[in-house]
A and B are shown apart, each in its own frame.
Chain A
Amino acid sequence: MAEQPAQSAPCLLSVRDLVVDFRLDQGTIRAVENISLDLFAGRVLGVVGESGCGKSITARAILGIIDRPGRIVSGRVLLDPGTTRQLDLATLSNDSRELRSVRGGRIGLIFQEPMTALSNHYTVGNQIMEAVRAHKPKMTKPEARAKAVTLLGEVGIPNPDGRIDAYPFQLSGGLRQRVGIAMALAGDPDILIADEPTTALDVTTQAQILLLLRHLQRDKKIALMLITHDMGVIAQMADEVAVMYLGRVVEKAPVEHLFAAPRHPYTRALLRSVPNIHAKPRERLASIGGAVPHPARRPSGCSFHPRCPEVIAGRCAETEPAPVPAGADGAACFHAELTP
């Protein structure tokens, strides 16, 4: 297969063959199927895909916070794989003490809507202090407050000494997302999962938040899993990219390779269909026909084949291409197999 990304950096989290089902009255829906991902210290893994591709569910499965009726059916989520401290998060119960200490401790989570993690009834400082002390119970209140001020400063909130006593509703959307990031950093995580962190923000604020995330991730050698639907954000932020479609990884590659030579037809179509600020007047976009099918109606064979412009008759609809191997790059497409 393709080359391994250059790693001297240790792997902090390995997801292997993760399967997530949603059991509904009408039947079982497989939302995530055999996903394998690796997060390395100081590197950014971009996970990109359209709605219904399972990217958020993967993130939630890693943290054991999938909404009912979803559940992990099989697969492993290994923290510190290959070391003596290796821990399989998938085997832990969702509200076990171990998993709770990992959540918000080793692994921080940044939401699309920061108010998911914040309450309007407490000051920003109180909420960060609580998060800090949840993972360092011995810390005194003044110490926690000092730490909260430091965190607010780190995420670029002007005048953190004053803003620590503000309530979230007194802050702008951009500042709230910065507070959300400070919350995620409260437990000194070395892994951050950011689920569409800039989707709800304006373009100028998005640029600020992305820059902040990049600086934090580099300075603290954090492994960042960045989930987005925006190819522009991927290009600006990611080191490696996993492209998802209908619950599977269809292509995985270093970011330069992915943009220079995308190997899966879906990746190619996705790249071409992004509206471009360099476009000519009234320029048409190369669109993909149809819409993402409902996960309950996954097409046979390669699930992209009904929308694929390069479909091979008699093959793609019948047989499934080999999945992207765990820990390696590649594309789950017969074309990619033919031309290695």
Chain B
Amino acid sequence: MSQKSNSAGNGVGHAAGSEDRYAEATQLQLTWWRFKKHKLALLSLWIVAFFYLIAIFADVLAINDPQATDARRSYIPPQGIHLFDDGNFRPHVNGLKGTRDLKTFKLAYTPDPAKKLPVRLFARGYSYHLFGLIPTDIHVLGVEGGEAVDGLFLLGTDQLGRDLYSRLVVATRISLSIGLAGVGLSLLLGILLGGLSGLYGGIVDTVIQRVIEMVRSIPTIPLWMGLAAALPNTWSVTQVYFAITLIISLFGWTELARVVRGRFLALREEDFVIAAELAGASQLRIIFRHMLPSFASHVIAATSLALPAMIISETSLSFLGLGLRAPAISWGILLQDAQNVQVLAGAPWLLLAAVPVILVILAFNFLGDGLRDAADPYG
């Protein structure tokens, strides 16, 4: 008889009244109840969901065509929306007047109070395909009329006069989806190879483990540089996108494979798995009915912790100019513009592209922590 005396400390999972609720709750419910207690993780879940919604509806949320360049509106600072006009609720932005400083040859913009451009909800803008399917030109916000410099630039513009806000919104799509795709691929490789390793053991296990060690021992940055350099210049944006996903996930799967293998090895020794085997259950039933449900939660948690690493990988690759290349738009590419100190001194708003990166990475990490803690409601 061991450890029986720590009375109140253990086994206190529930108070008297809610006993029945807990007794018949499924694993998913228990996990959710426990996850809810982790306030930071819950907040992070909302943040992550928020960003994925942005990614899905990126074009709808964008105001200006993210690719449209115009030298006349280079480096416009962030603009505010005026909500009231003469005491009436009539949201508008002022038109801008660009004057060139003759000493520095820089454009300086001054709002023109006389020129009022009304801001409309669900206005028409540039055309795009919603979800890549439905052709439309509806945007949540937009302004009407005016010249090239007269527009709504919530976060300002870059050197080529492209709207930073719209570019950020559209970049979210690529940056978040590349992480997801990378993790998906890693997951597949990780579960397959980790599962084989843990299930069969012996030679299979030894070979896979040595491969993992080799992959992990390769310094990533030089290899990325090599692989990225090997991508032909003639490839389209989509081809590069998939190639980068593949490169990232080739390194990401090892961690997951180790998690899966470890769980398989541990579960094989569990009494309830032995009990199933002694009952005459088939190998498939043991794996799918007893083992997989027991570590699915661990895999989900490991995945949510792997995602930020993927996003960071893409961002840093693109930042270094090794990943995606313009005209693709990702957070890393946006940050590339903010590499130069002189540019930053003149247009510090370009650094705003780092904010979503930080927010999403933090949120994913907290979410992963919360999931990991809640994942095993029986632990």
- Which of A25-33, A166-174, A218-226, A282-290 lines the interface with chain B? A25-33
Tell whether A296 is near chain B: CB-to-CB under 8 Å: yes
A57 near B8: Cβ-Cβ < 8 Å = yes
Chain A residue nearest to B1 (CB atoms) is A199
Q: Give Cα A288 to B282, complex, Å.
A: 41
A25 near B37: Cβ-Cβ < 8 Å = yes
Fill in one digit per residue for B7-37: 1 if any A CB lies within 8 Å of its CB, else 0: 1110110111010000000000000000001
CB neighbours (8 Å) of A227 from chain B are: 5
Please give the number of chain A residues whose Cβ is less than 8 angstroms from any Cβ of chain B in the complex.
29
Q: Give Cα A52 to B12, complex, Å.
A: 11
Out of B4, B14, B18, name the residue touching A51 (CB < 8 Å): B4
Tell whether B88 is near chain A: CB-to-CB under 8 Å: no
Tell whether A200 is near chain B: CB-to-CB under 8 Å: yes
B5 near A229: Cβ-Cβ < 8 Å = yes
Residues of chain A in range 14-31 having any CB-CB distance to chain B below 8 Å: 22, 24-27, 29, 31
Out of A22, A25, A199, name the residue touching B8 (CB < 8 Å): A22
Q: How far is the CB of A75 from chain B (nearest CB, A)?
A: 16
Q: Give Cα A50 to B12, complex, Å.
A: 16
A26 and B14 in contact, given A51-B7, A52-B8, A54-B8 (Cβ under 8 angstroms): yes
B3 near A22: Cβ-Cβ < 8 Å = no
B7 near A53: Cβ-Cβ < 8 Å = yes
Q: Give Cα A31 to B5, complex, Å.
A: 12
A295 near B7: Cβ-Cβ < 8 Å = yes
Number of A-B pairs, beta carbon distance below 8 Å = 64
B7 near A27: Cβ-Cβ < 8 Å = no
Residues of chain A in range 198-219 having any CB-CB distance to chain B below 8 Å: 199-200
Q: Give Cα A196 to B6, complex, Å.
A: 11
A26 near B1: Cβ-Cβ < 8 Å = no
A195 near B5: Cβ-Cβ < 8 Å = yes
Q: Give Cα A309 to B359, complex, Å.
A: 63
Chain B residue nearest to A195 (CB atoms) is B5
A56 near B16: Cβ-Cβ < 8 Å = no
Out of B2, B8, B16, B18, name the residue touching A112 (CB < 8 Å): B2
Q: Give Cα A8 to B219, complex, Å.
A: 76
Chain A residue nearest to B14 (CB atoms) is A26
CB neighbours (8 Å) of A57 from chain B are: 6-9
Fill in one digit per residue for A45-62: 1 if any B CB lies within 8 Å of its CB, else 0: 000001111111100000
B9 near A70: Cβ-Cβ < 8 Å = yes
CB neighbours (8 Å) of B1 from chain A are: 199, 229
Tell whether A272 is near chain B: CB-to-CB under 8 Å: no
CB neighbours (8 Å) of B14 from chain A are: 26
A70 and B5 in contact, given A26-B14, A26-B18, A297-B16 (Cβ under 8 angstroms): no
A196 and B8 in contact, given A27-B15, A297-B16 (Cβ under 8 angstroms): no
B12 near A22: Cβ-Cβ < 8 Å = yes
Q: How far is the CB of A303 from chain B (nearest CB, A)?
A: 13
A67 near B7: Cβ-Cβ < 8 Å = no
CB neighbours (8 Å) of B12 from chain A are: 22, 24, 26, 29, 294-296
Residues of chain B in range 30-82 having any CB-CB distance to chain A below 8 Å: 37
Q: Give Cα A103 to B223, complex, Å.
A: 57
A51 near B8: Cβ-Cβ < 8 Å = no
Q: Give Cα A56 to B4, complex, Å.
A: 9
Q: Give Cα A294 to B17, complex, Å.
A: 12
B2 near A31: Cβ-Cβ < 8 Å = no
CB neighbours (8 Å) of A27 from chain B are: 15
CB neighbours (8 Å) of A195 from chain B are: 5
B16 near A51: Cβ-Cβ < 8 Å = no
CB neighbours (8 Å) of A70 from chain B are: 8-9
Q: How far is the CB of B286 from chain A (nearest CB, A)?
A: 31
A295 and B8 in contact, given A25-B37, A26-B15, A27-B15 (Cβ under 8 angstroms): yes
Fill in one digit per residue for A187-200: 1 if any B CB lies within 8 Å of its CB, else 0: 00000000110011
CB neighbours (8 Å) of B5 from chain A are: 51, 53, 55-56, 112, 195-196, 227, 229
> Looking at B4, B5, B11, B37, which has the most chain A CB atoms within 10 Å of its CB?
B5
Chain A residue nearest to B16 (CB atoms) is A297
Q: Give Cα A55 to B4, complex, Å.
A: 11
CB neighbours (8 Å) of A53 from chain B are: 5, 7
Out of B2, B3, B7, B18, name the residue touching A52 (CB < 8 Å): B7
B9 near A199: Cβ-Cβ < 8 Å = no
Chain A residue nearest to B6 (CB atoms) is A56
A112 near B3: Cβ-Cβ < 8 Å = yes
CB neighbours (8 Å) of A26 from chain B are: 12, 14-15, 18
CB neighbours (8 Å) of B16 from chain A are: 294, 296-297
Residues of chain A in range 89-118 having any CB-CB distance to chain B below 8 Å: 112-113
Q: How far is the CB of B179 from chain A (nearest CB, A)?
A: 34
Q: Give Cα A221 to B89, complex, Å.
A: 89
> Looking at B1, B8, B15, B37, which has the most chain A CB atoms within 10 Å of its CB?
B8
Would you list 22 pairs from A and B whose C-beta atoms are within 8 A, ordered by A residue?
Answer: A22-B9, A25-B37, A26-B14, A26-B15, A26-B18, A27-B15, A29-B8, A51-B6, A52-B7, A53-B5, A54-B7, A56-B5, A57-B8, A67-B9, A112-B5, A113-B3, A195-B5, A199-B1, A199-B2, A294-B16, A295-B8, A296-B12
Sorted nearest first, the 8 A-B pairs with minimum C-beta distance are A26-B15, A52-B7, A51-B4, A31-B8, A56-B5, A297-B16, A22-B8, A27-B15
- A residues near B, CB below 8 A? 22, 24-27, 29, 31, 50-57, 67, 70, 112-113, 195-196, 199-200, 227, 229, 294-297
- B residues near A, CB below 8 A? 1-9, 11-12, 14-16, 18, 37
- Seed contacts A26-B14, A51-B6, A57-B7; 11 additional CB < 8 Å A-B pairs: A22-B12, A25-B37, A26-B12, A27-B15, A51-B5, A56-B6, A195-B5, A200-B2, A229-B1, A229-B4, A294-B16
